[in-house]
Amino acid sequence: MGGFYFFLSSLPFLQFTVKPDISLSSFLDEAAYHTSVAEYEELKAMTADTFGGKKYTCQSAAKFIAFETTLRNRLAVLRAGRMKEDAEKYLKDTSTETTAELAARAAFEESNPLKAEEILYRARFVFLENMESGHFYDFDALALFALKLKVVERFHRFDAEKGKELYQKIQKEIYENEDT
């Protein structure tokens, strides 16, 4: 039951709407002391910015990759449909996860880009939370914490004002290029 009891007990409770008290980098630094080399490398790999391409011994990470693949595939299909393009060239794997499909649809229908991102990140967080049942102090519990931390940390990097400024800049450039 409890290979990581002390370490997991010392970590903060993560909430989607609250900026975390620990960074992913700090978590990984601390994890190096509490995990084997193989476990630490797996934690680093599953929280890296690259997506997929690796097989994980941790079942929770594998399930999350399937969820993320479905989410991205569904968004690709919806966007390709809007642009009247073939989505096949954008699809990865053939995973299906109903909650990911529902989240993709809800985000796609949202007109506010920041709200759409919130829908996607909240869906990721909830999916990870739902997998925590039955994992108390094992490696999956540690992996789920790491993945949730990555999701929350990434979501809290969004800045509405900077996003609006960037959007207006891009929009201005598009209008200027149309005139030429």
Predicted confidence (pLDDT) at residue 2 exceeds the cutoff of 60: no
The pTM is what?
Answer: 0.85
Distance CA 180, CA 176 (A): 7
Per-residue pLDDT band for 169 (boundaries 50, 70, 90) equals: confident
At 94 the pLDDT is 66
Cα dihedral 128, 130, 3, 23 sign: positive
Query: Which positions ≥6 away from 85 have C-beta within 8 Å?
Result: none
- pLDDT (mean) for 20-26: 96
* pLDDT tens for each residue of 74-133: 888 888 888 778 777 667 766 667 888 899 999 999 999 889 999 999 999 999 999 999
- 174: confidence class by pLDDT, cuts 50, 70, 90: confident
Do 100 and 126 contact (CB within 8 A), yes or no? no
Report DSSP letters for the chain, one per residue.
--TTHHHHHHSPPP-TTS--SS-HHHHHHHHHHHS-HHHHHHHHHHTSSS-S----S-HHHHHHHHHHHHHHHHHHHHHHHHTT--SGGG--S----HHHHHHHHHHHH-SSHHHHHHHHHHHHHHHHHHHTTT-SSSHHHHHHHHHHHHHHHHHTT--HHHHHHHHHHHHHHHHHHHH-
CA-nearest of 69, 65, 76, 70 to 128 is 65
| Per-residue pLDDT at 1 | 45
Q: Given the structure tokens 């909830």, which residue do they identify?
A: 126
The two structure tokens encoding residue 129 = 């939370």
* Sequence ranges of the domains in the chain: 5-179
- In order of 5, 30, 66, 98, the CA distances from 125 in angstroms are 22, 22, 14, 15
pLDDT tens column, 25-75: 999 999 999 999 999 999 999 998 776 667 788 899 889 988 998 898 888
Write the pLDDT tens digit of every residue in 147-161.
999 999 999 988 778
Where is mean pLDDT largest: 41-45, 69-73, 166-170, 171-175? 41-45
